[in-house]
Amino acid sequence: MPEFSLHRGVPCCLVTKDLLTAIETYLRVEMRQKLGEMLGNEITYRISIKEKIGTETLASVGEYSPSTFSDGTEEIEIRWENGYQANCQLNIAIRFDGGSFPVFSELKVGCAAPTARETAIGIGDAILRLLESYRTYNWIFNPVEFFPIVSYLAGILAIGFLFSGSVRILSNREQGLYLLSAAVFVGWIFFSAAYFRPRVSFDTRRQRLLDRLWRYFSLGTFGFVFFGTLLPLIRKAILGF
């Protein structure tokens, strides 16, 4: 029997109970309706929620009573598999890794069936479509999974702007303020994002607080840099006062 193993990366997203419910509905209801009796009756489904103090394993997301995940949530994994007697053997694993670098969030679909390749790709595409509504733009700050390269480069760049601005302000006040403003903006927006804007985040009270704090300080930083420093300099250059 032909076999095919699909590996896809999980995009940057916010993992909520609603997302897990949508994935569970697809795996347990919609996929069953599409493939029918080919899946057999020996089906194993579980959700593992890894926290700092341990790992909780559930038979359904409905068994998790809190409205949000625990602040210590580090990883969530969904697994679906059926028996070897089925005409279409599937082994599906979806891993959301919200830990520190390196992170390994991935989707795996192993299939043994007459149309293994088409079935695995179809299931993978369907799951990724569910993730689209929960995607975030955090990839801008964390483009790779194994190293926070943007944050480190931004930190180095901010230090460079800070040093150059501190030296330049003695001889040219306007250029010095431009450079110092750039140091503040780059330093906060990008360097802090590795902590405040991870590739995969979970819907926790802590993450909601971090999101509000990051937006608040980001807007504050932008307002200080633009209205407090750059706009007066631009006005002086154009209007002369």
- DSSP E strands in 83-155: the ranges are 89-97, 106-112
**Cα 110 to the center of its chain, rounded Å:** 24
Of 205, 166, 210, 165, the closest CA to residue 192 belongs to 210
pLDDT, one tens digit per residue, over 53-72 is 999 999 999 999 998 999 98
Encoding tokens for residue 102?
């390196």
- Whole-number Å distance between alpha carbons of 161 and 158: 5
State the pTM of this model.
0.79
pLDDT, one tens digit per residue, over 11-54 is 889 999 999 999 999 999 999 899 888 888 888 999 999 998 99
- pLDDT for 54 equals 93
- pLDDT for 143 equals 63
CA distances from 134 to 30, 201, 240 (A): 20, 10, 49
Encoding tokens for residue 183?
């140091």
| CB contact at 8 A, 139 and 39 | no
Per-residue pLDDT of the chain (241 residues; tens, 9 = 90+): 789 999 998 988 999 999 999 999 999 999 989 988 888 888 899 999 999 899 999 999 999 999 899 998 999 999 999 977 788 999 999 999 986 655 678 999 999 999 999 999 999 999 999 999 999 888 777 766 655 666 667 777 777 777 777 777 777 766 676 667 777 777 776 667 777 888 889 999 999 998 888 878 777 766 666 665 655 656 566 665 5
- pLDDT for 5 equals 94
- Whole-number Å distance between alpha carbons of 119 and 111: 7
- pLDDT for 228 equals 59
Name the DSSP letter for residue 32: H
Q: Secondary structure of 18-31 in the HEC alphabet?
A: HHHHHHHHHHHHHH
